Amino acid sequence: MLDEYGAMNLLAKHFREKNIPQLHKLNNEITRGVVNSENKNMLKIGILAYVFSQILERPRFFENVNWNKFNERIYTYIDASLDALKKKNYQLFNKILEDVKYEVLAMDKTTRRFVLNLFETASIKTAGNLYFSGYSVSKAAEMADVDKLELVRYLGSTVAHDTEEFKTLSIMERIKNAKELFK
């Protein structure tokens, strides 16, 4: 199972390689892992992986005159976040992620085409994945830091629950996981 440093390292590698499928896979892998650990830092990395995949899928970002500067700043933040994680400085790590979010939102604002920004979309989809993995709507919304009503709207409009990928845990698996939490 990945820890924060390993996940961030993979995120950095896949973003630098512009490997969109691996960024999606990383988001899914992290989300499934969070179901057992409830690690919010890991969830933030998963959401960031999804955001980066969306950036790389949209030519409007790299056609922007500020793309190269944006890219350099993101690489700098990624490297700084890896250093913070190596030192187990989670307060600095979270500050750096907020800086990354600010950079992405600023870039998104200049190329805006959608009502929701990339972080809102990524957070809602990740919360949906948590829900489809067995979390309650309230807990999924809390973990991904999204509005519960927005999550319910998203859940009502998606068919992801019909896929094999999001089959929930059996009762026995849930009991086992709950016992692990209280050891």
| Residue 114: per-residue pLDDT | 53
Structure tokens at 12: 């950095």
Instruction: Work out how many domains the chain is built from and give that number.
Output: 1
56-111 pLDDT per residue, tens = 988 888 788 888 999 999 999 999 999 999 999 999 999 999 999 999 888 877 76
17-55 pLDDT per residue, tens = 999 999 999 999 998 888 888 899 999 999 999 999 999
Burial class, 160, CB count within 10 angstroms (exposed 0-12 / middle 13-18 / buried 19+): middle
85: domain range?
Answer: 4-181
